[in-house]
Amino acid sequence: MSEFGERVEGFLTDYFRCYPVAATAIGNHDHDGEWPDLTRAGREARLELIADWEIRLRAIPEVGLSPDERIDREHLLAELAALHFDEAELREWAWDPLSYVYLMGGGIFPLLARDFAPLAVRLTSVAARLERMHTIIDAAKDGLGRLNAQPVSALHLEMAIRQLPGVSSLARDALSQAREAAPDDQAVAALLPRLEKAVELAEAGVTAYGRWLKSDMAPRSHGEGRLGRDLFARKLRHTFRSGLTDEEILAQARHEYDVVRAEMIRLARRLWKVWVPGEPIPTAARVGSQEAADQKVVAMVTAAIGRDHHSPGDLVEFCRESYRDIVAFCRRKKLIAVPDEPLEIDWTPPFLREYASAMLDSPGPLDKGQKAFFFMTPPPDDWKPQQVESYLAEENDRQLILTTIHEGMPGHYLQLVYSNRCPSLVRAVFGSGVFIEGWAVYITQVMMDSGYRASDQALRLIHWKFYLRAIINALLDVGIHAGSMTEAEAMELMVRGGFQEEAEARRKWDRARLTATQLSTYFVGSMEMWKLERERRERLAEASSDPRGAGAVPEPRVVGGLGRTPGFSYKEHLESLIAHGSPPIPLVRRILLGDQPGAAAASSRASRR
């Protein structure tokens, strides 16, 4: 092992020890019974560790590093900077009660969901974490509200109270698994008394914590969860690992917003007679202006398509059917190699249901052979019939097909399978959300361009609506956290601007305030991937015998749709793109194009001028 490899191994050992829940997710199970130390002493120890490892990594002479090691070191140094930012500047421990719920749920769920070890071994770790869950609750009580400059967010508190019972349900699920297995498993039977006490202790602690949040913390929670422009800008640098600014994101998103809406208007007018039969098409003369007419055409056609949906209980099975059809298409077209790693499509665990309507939970790179989960979130049980119908209209059959591409194949599931195979542990372990989310948006467009269900123009229209949602996500993210966007403005942007159902829009308004920078990753990541594809096409065209050179690559009317390019193969491009883990896109650019540091940022700035 090289000196750099030894340093990486040493760093990961320390990282797994300090961040044991993250270690479990990654697939290192040396600390599965432990929680991170969330006390002030624990935070200070992590900051010292981060500073020490930065010094040790920078001390390695660059001349002795291979090109891959240089990229890995740069990636690790950026990760260390991001960890420092989270601990010392973002400080969610002081204002975000929901982060503690996610930590508790995330510490238990993978131990129950994945059979990486015998059940008795995994339940022993569950028991250990449940027995010490009070340390997380004590840290929450001690930390929340500590910083006057960052008051506790009322929305995060509300969502924490709502999702906290999901942690108790995980504890009860562990007990159910143990009781079911105990008659045939002596090790589980021997563990059962300890687990029963641990569950009782944890449930009592969670219940008391919920009362404390309602009675003690709620009256003191006056924050909105908005980061503010300065903190948002600093977080943006760590999310995107580039010099991209909020102004640049807004400029790109506004341009794409106009282009995609124009395409939706064109398609909706063609589909009017099919989906709104017998109704006269709106005209400027009838409704007062061409803008109003266009708005009504798209709204009515997409609403009609939205009424073509399954019942709530059938959503998961429909996604399973769609997945099989998508896989068959990818194999038939030889678009990209289909992996054999298992994928299970099921309902979202209760403690995660406020986060998104669908998500992909992938095994860590060290958990070999374990299944990935594609989760669908059902409408809440306490919703009124009109709210449920609004939700189902948004998650209509065609939207669920697109969601299955995005979350499953060839979206997150496939990309993360490839990522986990990457020989660079650094790039596999520390994934960039910009790369991961950008890929899922980008590959959905590639599927459309490759002819998936090409005869279904209603699917194409809903695809553009789905892509418009990614654009609007970025506008919401920047507008809320770096600006002063109101709920009314956000709802107008989503419902009227993005043709979204009100139920979906209200969930997104909450999600946009619960997160920061994450909602921008979809749009920005996909745009960066299209820039990378375009440059690869242009270089191949220049090297070919085509007299047009780079001019063989056309300017698209909307994103994608680049057609054929001499020497360019989607299979080769896609598989090479995801063969290097999930690093920030500027690093992928260096790997694929051989650019030097800074070249990607300069090219990106030039393309936006």
User: Which residues share a beta bridge with 347?
Assistant: 376
Count helices and strands in the chain by DSSP H and E runs: 26, 3
Question: Does 138 score more than 90 pLDDT?
Answer: yes
DSSP-derived letter for residue 434 is H
Closest CA to 533 of 584, 581, 593: 593
According to DSSP, residue 63 is labeled G
Question: What gap in Å lies between CA 589 and CA 591, rounded to an integer?
Answer: 5
pLDDT of residue 149: 83
**Contact present, 431 and 419 (Cβ < 8 Å):** yes
Report residue 307: phi and psi, to 5°. -75, -10
- Give the global pTM: 0.92
**Integer angstrom CA distances of residue 597 from 78, 401, 525, 587, 588:** 13, 39, 18, 8, 11
- pLDDT at residue 601 in the model: 38
Residue 602 has pLDDT above 60, yes or no: no
Task: Output the average pLDDT for the chain.
Answer: 94
> What is the rounded CA–CA span in Å between residue 412 and residue 424?
19
- DSSP-derived secondary structure for 112-136: HH--SS-HHHHHHHHHHHHHTHHHH
Per-residue pLDDT reduced to its tens digit, 231-263: 999 999 999 999 899 999 999 999 999 999 999
Residues 191-221: tens digit of each pLDDT: 999 999 999 999 999 999 999 999 999 999 9
Q: According to the model, what pLDDT value does residue 519 have? A: 97
Query: Given a cut of 70, is residue 42 above it in pLDDT?
Result: yes
d(CA 179, CA 329): 43
Radius of gyration for the alpha carbons in the chain, expressed in angstroms and rounded: 25
Beta-sheet pairing, 358-361 with 372-376: antiparallel
Mean pLDDT of 75-79: 97
pLDDT at 606 over 50: no
Rounded percentage of the chain residues whose pLDDT exceeds 90: 90
Q: Which of 273-277, 335-339, 501-505 has the lowest mean pLDDT?
A: 501-505
Going by C-alpha positions, the residue among 228, 262, 260, 248 that lies closest to residue 524 is: 248
User: Using 50, 70 and 90 to split pLDDT, how confident is the model at 605?
Assistant: very low
Q: Is the pLDDT of residue 596 over 80?
A: no
pLDDT of residue 368: 86
Do 465 and 298 contact (CB within 8 A), yes or no?
A: no
Could you tell me which of 445, 407, 434 has the C-alpha nearest to residue 574? 445
**CA count, 13 A, side-chain hemisphere, 215:** 6
Residue 607 clears pLDDT 90, i.e. is over it: no
Point out the least confidently predicted range of 41-50, 114-123, 594-603: 594-603
pLDDT bracket for residue 2 (50, 70, 90): confident
**Sequence-distant (≥ 6) Cβ neighbours of residue 550 within 8 angstroms:** 538, 539, 541, 542
pLDDT of residue 504: 86
What is the average per-residue pLDDT within 432-442? 97
pLDDT one-digit tens code per residue, 302-346: 999 999 999 999 999 999 999 999 999 999 999 999 999 999 999
pLDDT of 604: 36
Question: 3-state DSSP: the chain helix, strand, coil percent, rounded to 5?
Answer: 70, 5, 25
What is the percent of the chain where pLDDT is above 70? 97
When pLDDT is cut at 50, 70 and 90, the band that residue 10 belongs to is very high
Mind listing the pLDDT tens digit for each residue in 143-175? 999 998 889 999 999 999 999 999 999 999 999
Residue 468, pLDDT > 80, answer yes
Q: Dump pLDDT digits (tens) for 277-308.
A: 999 999 999 999 999 999 999 999 999 999 99
Looking at residues 93-105, what average pLDDT do you find?
A: 97
Dihedral angle over CA of 15, 19, 22, 28, nearest 10: 60
Could you tell me the two tokens for 482? Answer: 């770096």
- Which pLDDT tens digit goes with each residue over 384-426? 999 999 999 999 999 999 999 999 999 999 999 999 999 999 9
- The arithmetic mean of pLDDT across residues 572-585, rounded, is 96
> If you search the block for the tokens 């700035």, which residue do you land on?
605
Longest dimension (CA), the chain: 79
Kindly report the CA angle at 250 between 244 and 252, in degrees rounded to 5? Answer: 80
Beta bridge partners of 153: 223
Residue with tokens 């989270």: 86
pLDDT in tens, 56-69: 999 998 888 999 99
